[in-house]
Structure 1
């Protein structure tokens, strides 16, 4: 769950929204991709990466956010740089 908080805080800052709203956007993206039955702590690095690249991007497009490609690239880079948060969470 720590990675959701981290990415949500980053996204909130970038979009100038509340962190809870950004975390909700990420969680909705996860539900879009995996349905309601996959537990967040079962997600791995590639799962998060795919959610950001597809579902989060789609939701940002629906919200008519500008500069989506740069935001997605920035989130993916942040995920890559901090993938130890996910790896340590699996131990």
Structure 2
């Protein structure tokens, strides 16, 4: 196993899977041998869907793997000010979990 696990966090990281493909015109449905077709989209784009947030995702990852975590990316092509806001939110979440 690795010594450290790298975590990338973007506004689009949390996913929403929905079997009601007809609700998402223009998005390609995913299908496979073991399941019906479904849509995989960003949770933040779906009305009424609550995202877990970075702090909860870091906690879940730590509990699952029990190895040191490194937050390796924490924004998605935004302005300098937004990058600093993401850095601050990420830093704060990590410090609350220490």
Q: 1 or 2, which has the higher strand percentage?
A: 2
Greater helix fraction, Structure 1 or Structure 2: 1
